[in-house]
Structure 1
Amino acid sequence: MLDPPTGEWPVFPTSHAPSLYQVAREIIGNEADLSDIDVDELLREHECPPPSITVDASRRRIKKMCEAAGIEIDGEYLKLHGARRGIGHKLFEKDRGEAQDLLGHQSPETTKQAYSDRVAEERSGRVSDLLDE
């Protein structure tokens, strides 16, 4: 979606103007006039990746989106780790090896432990199916 010019581009870049202009100043110098410059365009042109969005900024954005959409989870907004867990559950259901890789777990055992509730559900379902037969 972002069509990054290089592989170093962050998945979630910041939109924090001071951070972007700081990187731009490193490219064209501290004394340059940046008032008429499109910072995003400058960074792309020089293939200089912007900083990633911070965890705090991500939390604020998700909270604001949840409020706008009227979404509450146990009386609160969706938390970043909760979103990761939800995605992790779906990945784990589809392909455990892919889930391990995409979630950045070092071993298959870490992934299996993290989603042991899914493993227990699967086993319970299989046992029920066998007993029904």
Structure 2
Amino acid sequence: MPLGKPLLEFEELPSTNSYLLGNISLCSQHGLTVWTHKQTSGRGRAGRTFISPSNQVLTFSVVIHSGDSEDRLHLWALWSGLALFRSLSGKGLPNLRLKWPNDLLDGRRKLAGILVERGPWHQAGLNSLIIGIGLNV
């Protein structure tokens, strides 16, 4: 199933992940992507903040209906990082590398962060995820 369809675009949001967690009905659509030009309260792992100046960071979240068992859901951060790595390899970033568990670096500079969250629907037996990505551009 394709990702990025439908695509909801916003000029500004506090957080793309938080938007989806607050609008659970949208999460029934596998591949739904929320993108914002400016994220004012982005979140990272362990409650860290993710600063997203307007038009300097590509910030988006994707709904994934994985069907994976509970013990495999944590692998999505790694898989997302690998997908980003492969997408950006050969694009003039010679020091590109993954930093476990959820960052992509260009040398010492953080290029991207990934936040994978499960919403409250997992209690109903649905192994669906929200994968949020912030990519410094």
TM-score normalised by the chain length of structure 2: 0.27
User: Larger RCO: Structure 1 or Structure 2 (Cα < 8 Å, ≥ 6 residues apart)?
Assistant: 2
Structure richer in strand, relative to its length: 2
Taking structure 1 as the reference length, what is the TM-score of the superposition? Answer: 0.28
